[in-house]
Amino acid sequence: MNKSNFEKLKDVIAALRDPVDGCPWDLKQTHESLLKYLLEESYEFVEAVEEKDPKKMEEEIGDVLMQVLLHAQLASEKNQFDIESVSKVLTEKLVRRHPHVFENKNTAITADQVVLNWEKIKAEEKLREAGEATHHRIKKSVLNAPSLLAATKIGKKTNDLKFDWDDYTQVAYKVEEEWQELKEELTPHRPINRDAVFEEMGDLLFSIAQLARHLDMDADAALHAANKKFLRRFHSMEDLMEKSGKRLESMNQEQMDVYWNQAKVHEKASK
């Protein structure tokens, strides 16, 4: 019987980890060392989706799958879990958290209600796993998410607990307060206390994430858009320099600013 492409892929991953004939790089990897690649591949898939490129999406989601299989392979070598047990656990969880599909067939349920039910069922599961109730309302696991997303999640949970600002104007004042505290640590002509600046920088970023939440905006998406805008303008600036026969490396900041401002004007004119 011919193997499926997925079975062939699992065989390739296992061969890469073969202790005798495997790849030296793959054999050196651990769950910890592979984490950065899982994140990188995930973001590359995000980029492919944004570009609406199905061929690239196919390749990049494959790279994400490779990371999943590598982690499963590492665990199977220690008899901890494998891709089959992962599939079993995931299947059971999906069925358990979608009672409207697999139990009572509630076709009238809305997407928002699905999310609320999911979180409720998830919380009940975690409580049973813990064996007893804890007085901590926000679990440390929230910190496992990327920091900007974690800040948003913390804010949403505190909002559920009625520990939140009333509206975005109050958060805006908090952002201003945190910015002033950071500026105080950056007073000119005195040594910088890097630990204090680090702390105040974090407070400012956290409060900005809460402002985005109160405005019903995705802080991570806003930052991602800002990154793309900067890169787009930087590339435009380089193109203008190229047309003028200039090299970025031979220019000072003031000269580069001239082309940067031109790039901004061209971008606004093209909208």
Alpha helices in 163-270 (DSSP H): 168-185, 194-214, 219-243, 253-270
Instruction: Give residue 65's pLDDT band: very low, low, confident or very high (50, 70, 90).
Output: very high
Is the pLDDT at 45 greater than 60, yes or no? yes
> CA 234, CA 250: separation in Å to the nearest integer?
16
Report the sign of the C-alpha dihedral through residues 16, 18, 21, 26, in that order.
Answer: positive
Domains 5-96 and 136-217 share a fold: yes
**CATH architecture of residue range(s) 136-217:** Orthogonal Bundle (1.10)
Q: Is 241 exposed, middle or buried (0-12, 13-18, 19+ CB in 10 A)?
A: buried
Q: Judge contact between 213 and 170, C-beta under 8 A.
A: no
Whole-number pLDDT of residue 172 = 98
DSSP 20: T
Coil vs helix vs strand at 187: coil
Instruction: Give residue 159's pLDDT band: very low, low, confident or very high (50, 70, 90).
Output: very high
In the chain, the percentage of residues whose pLDDT exceeds 70 is 98
Give pTM, 2 decimals.
0.68
In the chain, the percentage of residues whose pLDDT exceeds 90 is 79
The residue extents of the domains of the chain are: 5-96, 136-217, 221-270
| pLDDT digit string, tens, across residues 190-224 | 899 999 999 999 999 999 999 999 999 999 999 99
Whole-number pLDDT of residue 6 = 96
Is the pLDDT at 1 greater than 80, yes or no? no
Is the pLDDT at 165 greater than 80, yes or no? yes
Domain 5-96 sits in CATH at 1.10.287.1080
Place of tokens 């901004």: 264
